[in-house]
Amino acid sequence: MKKVIVLCGGQSSEHIVSRMSCQSVMRYIDKSKYDVSLVGIDLNGQWFELDQSLDVLTGDNWLSGAKDIHDVYGYIKQFDIAYPVLHGLYGEDGTIQGLFELAQIPYVGCRVLGSSVSMDKIYTKKVLETAGIPQVKSLYVKKRYDNTLVVVRKDFSETTQILEEVTNELGFPCFIKASNSGSSVGCYKVSEPEDLLNKLTEAAKYDRKIVVEECIDCIELEVAILGNDDPIASRVGQIMPHGEFYTFESKYEDAESQTCIPAKVEQSIQDKIREYAVTVFKAVDGHGLSRVDFFLDKKTNNVYLNEINTMPGFTHISMYPELMGDFGIPYSELIDRLLALALER
């Protein structure tokens, strides 16, 4: 029997989302086929072997009965496959993937480069430009180590004329996002020019790289990708956020936010989006799985890539498993396939 280490939590703003995802993974992973150990990483980066008799991973007592892991490297060496059910920094950004590479343990999901490029909204844009994937107009703002904010131009020269650049290039409202954040943490819609510097400063608390984007009045569409060299693409799902945009609250706490499969948009647009999603996955050297998110401009019907999530939300009612379910791959089988894909390489 293969020994599998499932990891949850992590040192990211999406820590709790990871525990929600992992709750479902632990419920549905085939324990007659795999010898499963569950590891929790707390917000300080301490690793624990968790007590699997615990029903609820999302409660405050998730560490009760847990055993400290001091020698992380020695501990992971005993496993055949790692399944990092981790979102955001240190889990989805290539860092923990680097640890598994060093330890030579096959793992579920994208490798180091694919994870880090996809986690970073600015570098995703740079890589995807070369693949001809349409993207919204944007600017790259950086907080230098002396705390000055500058716009970084395409040739990497810098200017401090931020307000002018944003006004001329993008206009208002615009979106500001910490480059390496997720779950809408460090993401703001800015309607007034007077609010721009404040919100840039807020976003800079999460990452020194910040994206400023033109705001699109859009329908949000998502595609699930599964595979290694010849990945499959699900049908297109649609997000109907409740509220002004898809914030952390509307994602995880607002029962009125809804999803719909397939999306209520023309078939030809769905076909194009599915094609783009596969190209995006290949362009970032994707492995295993990803959810690729798009905007459809309501006025022009133009499609734009929003982002690629290499370890998308994974509760049994999250969009990725729902899209795969719609494709004919139920949740337990999906886990099984991901573990098999990890071993394929």
Q: Which is nearer to ligand ADP, 101 or 254 (CB)?
A: 254
114 scored as a contact of ligand ADP (CB under 6 A): no
Q: Give the HSE-up count for residue 166: Cα atoms under 13 Å, Cβ half-sphere.
A: 29
Query: Min. distance of Cβ 184 from ligand ADP in angstroms?
Result: 4
Question: Considering only residues 304-323, where is the footprint of ligand ADP by CB under 6 A?
Answer: 306-307
136 scored as a contact of ligand ADP (CB under 6 A): yes
Q: What 3-state DSSP class applies to 306?
A: strand
Over its C-alpha atoms, the chain yields an Rg (Å, rounded) of 20
120 scored as a contact of ligand ADP (CB under 6 A): no
Q: What 3-state DSSP class applies to 134?
A: coil
Q: Considering Cα of 234, then 240, then 244, then 248, what sign does the dihedral take?
A: negative
Q: Which is nearer to ligand ADP, 107 or 175 (CB)?
A: 175
Question: Considering only residues 159-198, where is the footprint of ligand ADP by CB under 6 A?
Answer: 175, 177, 181-184, 187
Question: Considering only residues 229-258, where is the footprint of ligand ADP by CB under 6 A?
Answer: 241, 245-246
Burial class (CB in 10 A: 0-12, 13-18, 19+), 267: exposed
Pick from 213, 223, 284, 312 the residue near ligand ADP by CB under 6 A. 213
Question: Considering only residues 268-307, where is the footprint of ligand ADP by CB under 6 A?
Answer: 293, 306-307
Sheet containing 34-41: give its strands across. Answer: 67-69, 47-49, 34-41, 2-9, 81-84
Pick from 218, 233, 263, 324 the residue near ligand ADP by CB under 6 A. 218
Residues forming contacts to ligand ADP in the complex (CB under 6 A) are 136, 175, 177, 181-184, 187, 213, 215-216, 218, 220, 241, 245-246, 293, 306-307
